[in-house]
Amino acid sequence: MILNGTGELIDAHEYPATTEELIEAYGERRLELQNGTETVAEVLERLDTETFESPEEARFAVYSAVSQKAIGRVGYSDRDPTPLGSPHAPTPLSF
């Protein structure tokens, strides 16, 4: 995810700040994601009304609320084994 300068604006914002205040101030800013873009407003509108006490809390809210456009390959993980019965499991190969 590329914040396109939005991270610095969030850091410089005066806190505490609400979700609505951040949307009003930076809602039109575009975030570049792996598979497209979203505005800060689109991202933060997925959250309930919150009050952020610090820039770190606001950044984490943005990071956690982005859509699947931020995921390179949906359903893919090279860290966990595929669960039994998963439709994403590889075809068994017999030698």
CB neighbour class for 31 (10 Å; exposed up to 12, middle 13-18, buried from 19): buried
- Note the pLDDT tens digit of each residue in 48-65: 999 999 999 999 999 989
More confident residue, 1 or 31: 31
Question: Hunting for tokens 């959250």 — which residue is that?
Answer: 47
- Note the pLDDT tens digit of each residue in 28-52: 999 998 888 999 999 999 999 999 9
* Distance between CA atoms of residues 20 and 50, nearest Å: 8
